[in-house]
Amino acid sequence: MDDWVKTIDSKFGYYIAGFTDGEGSFNISIKKREDYKNQWKLTASFNISQRDRVILALIKKILGCGTLRERSDGVVYYEVTNIKSLHERIVPFFKRFRFLSANKKRNFLIFKKIVEIMAHNEHLTKDGLRKALRLREILNEGRGRKRKYQLSDVYKEGSSETIRKTPQNAGKI
């Protein structure tokens, strides 16, 4: 465990974990980019939204990374998208201060695997991108939100790059 995580007062650490359990999210987005070698940009993000800027500013200070943004409706976002910060600050923090809800635990473990892939630049290869996108397919499942790009958009049906959800491949994620 990173030394900086050990210095965090447990009452603040568990408060942040509980707050994140209810109000936070781990996301992976993908955007079509013609100027990228593989034509896709993968972005990992951790965020918490709330109307109380003071609490989010405290969380930002304790975690030592990220940004605060305010929407026009008064909702404030604490967001971390920098891979180094996600890998060296956010992941170690939530490895120490764990979630209680099964859903958040599951999503964090999937997110952690994708951040690992990205931190080692494996997502810049075809196999690494494929692995990250397979994991993304199961991240935040059941939230009723339609993604703009699916795995099938990156790996078109009928091409040699097609990934099919088959029973023999299901356990290989």
Q: Whole-model pTM? A: 0.83
Q: Which domains does the chain have, with CATH numbers?
A: 3-170 (3.10.28.10)
Give the model confidence (pLDDT) of 24-81 as tens digits.
Answer: 999 999 888 777 677 788 999 999 999 999 999 999 999 999 999 999 999 999 999 9
Over residues 105-122, the mean pLDDT reads 97
141 CB contacts (<8 Å, ≥6 apart)? none
pLDDT in the model for residue 34: 75
